[in-house]
Amino acid sequence: MEEETCKTSGNKPKRDKKGRLLPGNTANPDGRPSFSLVALLKEELQEIPEGEKETYAQLLIKKYLNLAIFEGDARLIIDIINRINGVPKQTIETNSQNKPPIALVEFIGGDPTEERKFDNYPEK
């Protein structure tokens, strides 16, 4: 069975009557754009500002360290330590101190803060 194609104008891809792309056609013939804000920022950080002897990256790091050390910004100090050593592993306590699991069904229509009794549940 041959699919009927819709008429297209210009460089639009060919589609069938249901609007689906036909084999061999693409909706984005040029591909993903190569613009990258990160790439532009990295490139700019390597530039030396007029009247300076160091790159923007070196000046940025000096400013960052000055705020952390000489002005005592604890948040930046922690950030520097985490970037050097890595963020410490964080654990989640899963011990429920031998309490039975909370029955979610009990929360429907009841007060979730009141103590629950688990004696009336059938044993499996």
The whole-angstrom separation of Cα 30 and Cα 9 is 18
pLDDT value, residue 13: 80
Q: Is the pLDDT of residue 108 over 60?
A: no
**Structure confidence by residue, pLDDT tens digits, 45-93:** 999 999 999 999 999 999 999 999 999 999 999 999 988 988 888 777 6
Smallest CA-to-CA distance from 64 within 85, 39, 81 is with 81
Which span out of 5-14, 26-35, 72-81, 99-108 was modeled with the highest average pLDDT? 72-81
The dihedral built from the CA positions of residue 92, 95, 99 and 103, taken in this order, carries a sign that is: positive
Identify the pLDDT of residue 1.
47
Partners of residue 5 on adjacent β-strands: 16
Res 3 pLDDT > 90: no
Whether the predicted model's global pTM rises above the 0.75 cut: no
Per the CB < 8 A criterion, the answer to whether 70 and 62 are in contact is no
Check residue 22 and give its pLDDT: 87
pLDDT at 114: 62
Query: How far is Cα 105 from Cα 62, in angstroms, rounded to an integer?
Result: 57
- Domain map (residue ranges) of the chain: 52-88
